[in-house]
Structures are given as structure tokens and as C-alpha cells.
């Protein structure tokens, strides 16, 4: 059978890792797909840089359009990242009738609707397993392995940098800034690390997972997003004392009143498996109405784990390269004509429990005054804790954990408590999920 020629756009960490894995595992790959899969061209910024892979049989170019326009290239692998140039290259490859594999989560989250429509019109596929949670194969699991289910919830640790920071803060008491600097030095963080710490990277990934879970268009702009940059060591430690871990989660939940799409720090009971996913590792919990809870765990970043997913996508395309378009798994796992908008709830309508910490003057009656505000809103409390004042300080931390309620009602309680003369500083609010 004819060799499949692959052109890689960007031969950096993931691009170099992809070529390396294809070269190292060539024999196994041939046995799996029955043909040779060769990287024949790659675009690079600098022709002289060191590479992870053997480039002796590779044609290197500084012009990525030469690859997407080249008649001999069957599959284009986009690994340059960013939005604008990547989008132009991917659309051009599609219009040239080439299949595309990409690890670019921002590209898919922001422009996926247009890109998939173009691919369907041209009879080609765009594969993007490596865009979410690196090597875990969560997209394949959700689109195929769990296809018999209605998905009730997806909740994932989908940013390795954020998880590394939270793990180091909890285990070693290190500050946020200190750990972020290490994550950047280790190469986990995005080019712009605010994407990691402000939740934007996780929101890109959640956008993709939510559309695959519910068969809705990609709608990044509707994801409620909070990062981890405002988290303090105090709350990380208090959560631990109360039997919880703080994890930065992307959550997509189907409720009777609409979808909840949210990315934020979350208290999780310390005994849950997902609460024990540490360091740069990722994990995605998917609850289906037939299967129940499933937890998918693995490396979410790095050259070879990400390359593992890129190569699997290439092989899937190779298996179907001569076949009919209709037999391929649809981009979002649902027929294109069945991609349907659903109401996405505003954050005031989220149904969630909350951890609330107030700093208050240590005077008689203050606790009951604060508690009364919850009763006024008919919010049940799971727990109330008062911490000792720090030496030389007359302020104490009072922590409430609510039962599940509409978040807007919690916000009203917080506003009335913050207006009290005994209360100092804005409250800390962190959502709580039990995953029962």
C-alpha cells in the first residue's frame, strides 16, 4: 500500500516529539495500519536549531504554506500553536483536500465550528485528541467508548501547570509566585502563563469537552472562568484541615435548567480519587447515565505524552484515508446536523456548595450575626468553623461551608455580611463539589 506522507507544521517540543515517536515506533505502526507513515516535510522557525528527532530524511522549510500546498502531503499536523496563522494554515490544508491533526486547543475552542464545517464540506477530517489532556485519549473515550451514554457531568483537572502549582502549595507550603516560576522553567506553562493561571487554557479545553459531551457548538465565550492566581496558602491549608483538597477544575454539567460550563478552583473531599491527582498530571471524571462515574488519568503535557495522542490521530486518519467520509467518527461525536445549541446558565444560577471565609472582629455575637444571614436566604450550612486569631491580631477567620444551593443566593449573603462593620476584607468564596 502507498506510504502516507505527513507534513508537520512546527518542530518544537510536540512536533519534534511526534516525529521522534513516528520514527522510533515505525515497525509497530506499520503492523497496526498496514502502511508506512513517514514524516517527509516539516516547517521550522530556525533551520539551525537542535531537534528531538532525526531530520536527515526530512525536508525542512521556513514557509509552512509550502507544506499545506504540497501535492505529496497526505496529512498536515499543525503544532505551531496560536490562533491566526494556525487557522489560515489549517483552512488552506482543508481546502487542498488534506486531513489535519492539531494539538491547538485555542484554535479548536475559538474557531472549531468554522473549521469543522470546512472539513465536512471538503470531505476531510480534523483530529484534535492532543488538544485536551495530552496523552489521556479523553476525546476518543467520550466520542466512542462512552457513546452509548447521556453524559451527566464532566469534571477535569485539565491544566497541568495549575495542578503543579496547587500541589506544591499544599505539600510544601510554597507560594504561588515561587511555584509558577519553576513551572515556567520546567516548560509546563503556556508561552503566556496567564493562560494557565487565569484558567483560559482550561476553559479552551472545557469548551471542547463540553461540546463532545452534549453535542453543542463550541462556545468558549460562555464558559465562566476563574483562575488560581488569587488563591492563598491560608485557604489551601484550611481546606486541608477541613478534609478537602483544592483543585482547579473545568466542569460541564447538564441540569434541568441548562448547561453549567465553569472553570474555577474547587474544594473536593480529600478521599476522592480526583483529589489525589497531583503534580502536572491531568484527570477527567466523566459521569454517564449508563456507565456511572469513570476517571481518566494521565500526563496532560510534555513532548512524548502529547505526541502519543498526535500519532494516534494520524493512525486513525491513515486507517480511513481511502474510506468514505460518512464512516468516520464525526468531529464532535454527533452528526453535524445534530449539533444543537443549549441554554448555558449564568454563574448566579449555578447549583453548587460553597466554602466562604470571612475575616471578622473577634467580638461576642458575631458568629450568630453572620449565621443569621444564611438562614434569611434559607441556605443550609454543612459546617461552621472559627479559627484562632493570629498573634497580635484581633481578627479571626470564620469559615462556612454551605449545602448545594443557587450561587446567586450565596452571593447575596456574602454581600450583606461584607457590609457589616465587624467584617474586614472581601470574603473568599471557593465552590465545593462532592462527586458522590
Residues annotated catalytic, as ranges: 205
* Residues of this chain, 43-102, that bind ligand HSE according to CB under 6 A: none
Residue 189 within binding range of ligand HSE, rule CB under 6 A: yes
- d(Cα 23, Cα 39) in Å, to the nearest integer? 8
Q: Where are the beta strands (DSSP E) in 289-349?
A: 292-299
Residue 1 CB neighbour total at 10 angstroms = 11
Q: Does 135 bind ligand HSE (CB under 6 A)?
A: no
Q: Which of 43, 159, 266, 397 binds ligand HSE (CB under 6 A)?
A: 159
**Which C-beta is closer to ligand HSE: that of 77 or that of 413?**
77
| Residue 276: partners with Cβ closer than 8 Å, 6 or more residues away | 245, 270
Contact indicator for 398, 386 with CB cutoff of 8 Å: yes
Judged by CB under 6 A, does residue 7 bind ligand HSE?
no
Q: How far is the CB of 388 from ligand HSE (least distance, A)?
A: 37
- The stretch among 13-21, 157-165, 331-339, 393-401 that binds ligand HSE (CB under 6 A) is 157-165
Judged by beta carbon, residue 40 or residue 161, the one nearer ligand HSE is: 161
CA distances from 252 to 83, 111, 207, 311, 380 (A): 24, 20, 9, 28, 25
Which region among 185-193, 342-350, 402-410, 412-420 touches ligand HSE (by CB under 6 A)? 185-193
Establish if 190 lies at the interface with ligand HSE (CB under 6 A): yes
- Our CB check for ligand HSE shows the closer of 196 and 198 to be 196
Q: Is position 309 an interface residue for ligand HSE (rule: CB under 6 A)?
A: no
Q: Which is nearer to ligand HSE, 187 or 243 (CB)?
A: 187
Angle at 319 (CA atoms; ends 119, 103), nearest 5 degrees: 50
Q: Return the beta strands (E) in 98-218 as ranges.
A: 99-102, 126-127, 151-157
Closer to ligand HSE by Cβ: residue 196 or 407: 196
Q: Helices marked H in 192-244 — which ranges?
A: 194-197, 200-214, 233-241
Smallest separation (angstroms) from ligand HSE to the CB of 311: 17
Q: Within 278-376, where are the H helices?
A: 303-319, 366-376
250 binds ligand HSE per the rule CB under 6 A: no
Q: How far is the CB of 174 from ligand HSE (least distance, A)?
A: 17
Q: Which window, 40-48, 58-66, 154-162, 265-273, contacts ligand HSE (CB under 6 A)? A: 154-162
Nearest to 361 by CA among 296, 425, 277: 425
Cβ atoms of residues 144 and 317 within 8 Å: no
Q: By CB under 6 A, which span of 158-166, 238-246, 254-262, 318-326 interacts with ligand HSE?
A: 158-166
Beta carbon of residue 103, minimum distance to ligand HSE (angstroms, whole number): 8
The single residue listed with the C-alpha cell 480534523 is 126
Angle between the N-to-C axes of helices 233-241 and 160-172, in degrees from 0 to 180, rounded to the nearest 10: 70
- Total binding residues for ligand HSE by CB under 6 A? 10
How many whole angstroms separate alpha carbon 186 and alpha carbon 166?
16
Give bridge partners of residue 252 from the DSSP assignment: 154, 261
Q: Contact between 304 and ligand HSE (CB under 6 A)?
A: no
Q: Which is nearer to ligand HSE, 7 or 162 (CB)?
A: 162
Q: Does 188 bind ligand HSE (CB under 6 A)?
A: yes
Work out how close the CB of 201 gets to ligand HSE at its nearest, in angstroms, rounded to a whole number. Answer: 5
Q: Least distance (Å) from ligand HSE to the CB of residue 300? A: 5
Residues 192-211 that bind ligand HSE (CB under 6 A): 196, 201
CB atoms within 10 A of CB 80: 22
Least separation in angstroms between CB 318 and ligand HSE: 25
| 168 in contact with ligand HSE (CB under 6 A) | no
C-beta closer to ligand HSE: residue 22 or 208: 208
What is the spatial distance between Cα 306 and Cα 301, in angstroms, rounded to a whole number? 6
User: How far apart are alpha carbons 374 and 394 in whole angstroms?
Assistant: 24
Tell me the torsion sign for CA atoms 388, 393, 394, 395: negative
Alpha helices in 218-365 (DSSP H): 233-241, 303-319
160: contact with ligand HSE by CB under 6 A: yes
Q: Give least dist CB 161 to ligand HSE, A.
A: 3
For position 300 contacting ligand HSE by CB under 6 A, the verdict is yes
Q: Which residues lie near ligand HSE (CB under 6 A)?
A: 159-161, 188-190, 196, 201, 300-301
Amino acid at each position: 500500500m502507498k506510504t502516507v506522507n505527513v507534513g508537520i507544521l512546527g518542530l518544537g517540543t510536540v512536533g519534534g516529539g511526534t516525529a521522534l515517536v513516528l520514527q522510533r515506533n515505525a515497525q509497530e505502526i506499520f503492523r497496526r495500519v498496514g502502511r508506512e507513515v513517514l514524516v517527509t516535510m516539516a516547517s521550522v522557525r530556525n533551520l539551525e536549531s537542535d531537534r528531538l528527532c532525526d531530520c536527515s530524511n526530512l525536508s525542512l522549510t521556513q514557509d509552512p504554506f509550502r507544506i499545506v500546498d504540497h501535492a505529496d502531503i497526505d496529512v498536515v499536523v499543525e503544532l505551531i500553536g496560536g490562533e491566526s496563522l494556525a487557522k489560515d494554515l489549517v483552512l488552506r490544508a482543508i481546502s487542498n483536500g488534506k486531513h489535519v491533526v492539531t494539538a491547538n486547543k485555542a484554535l479548536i475552542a475559538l474557531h472549531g465550528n468554522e473549521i469543522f464545517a470546512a472539513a465536512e464540506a471538503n470531505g476531510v477530517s480534523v483530529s484534535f485528541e492532543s488538544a485536551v489532556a495530552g496523552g489521556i485519549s479523553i476525546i476518543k473515550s467520550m466520542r466512542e467508548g462512552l457513546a452509548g451514554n447521556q453524559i451527566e457531568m464532566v469534571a477535569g483537572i485539565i491544566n497541568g501547570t495549575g495542578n503543579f502549582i496547587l500541589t506544591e502549595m499544599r505539600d510544601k507550603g510554597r507560594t504561588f509566585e515561587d511555584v509558577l516560576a519553576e513551572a515556567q522553567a520546567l516548560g509546563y506553562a503556556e508561552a503566556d502563563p496567564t493562560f494557565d493561571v487565569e484558567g483560559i487554557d482550561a476553559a479552551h479545553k472545557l469548551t471542547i469537552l463540553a461540546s463532545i459531551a452534549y453535542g453543542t457548538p463550541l462556545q468558549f465565550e460562555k464558559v465562566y472562568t476563574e483562575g488560581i492566581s488569587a488563591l492563598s496558602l491560608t485557604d489551601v491549608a484550611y481546606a486541608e484541615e477541613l478534609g478537602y483538597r483544592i483543585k482547579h477544575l473545568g466542569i460541564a454539567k447538564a441540569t434541568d435548567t441548562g448547561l453549567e460550563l465553569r472553570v474555577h478552583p474547587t474544594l473536593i473531599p480529600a478521599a476522592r480519587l480526583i483529589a489525589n491527582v497531583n503534580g502536572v498530571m491531568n484527570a477527567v471524571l466523566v459521569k454517564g447515565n449508563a456507565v456511572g462515574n469513570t476517571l481518566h488519568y494521565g500526563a496532560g503535557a510534555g513532548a512524548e505524552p502529547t505526541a502519543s495522542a498526535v500519532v494516534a490521530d494520524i493512525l486513525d486518519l491513515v486507517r480511513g484515508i481511502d474510506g468514505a467520509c460518512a464512516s468516520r467518527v464525526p468531529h464532535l461525536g454527533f452528526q453535524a446536523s445534530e449539533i444543537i445549541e443549549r441554554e448555558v446558565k449564568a454563574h448566579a444560577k449555578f447549583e453548587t456548595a460553597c466554602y466562604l471565609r470571612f475575616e471578622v472582629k473577634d467580638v461576642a455575637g458575631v458568629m450568630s450575626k453572620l449565621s443569621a444571614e444564611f438562614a434569611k436566604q434559607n441556605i443550609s450550612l454543612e459546617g461552621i468553623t472559627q479559627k484562632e486569631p493570629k498573634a497580635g491580631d484581633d481578627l479571626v477567620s470564620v469559615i462556612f461551608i454551605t449545602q448545594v444551593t443557587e450561587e446567586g443566593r450565596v452571593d447575596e449573603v456574602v454581600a450583606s455580611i461584607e457590609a457589616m462593620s465587624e467584617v474586614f476584607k472581601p470574603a473568599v468564596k471557593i465552590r465545593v463539589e462532592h462527586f458522590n
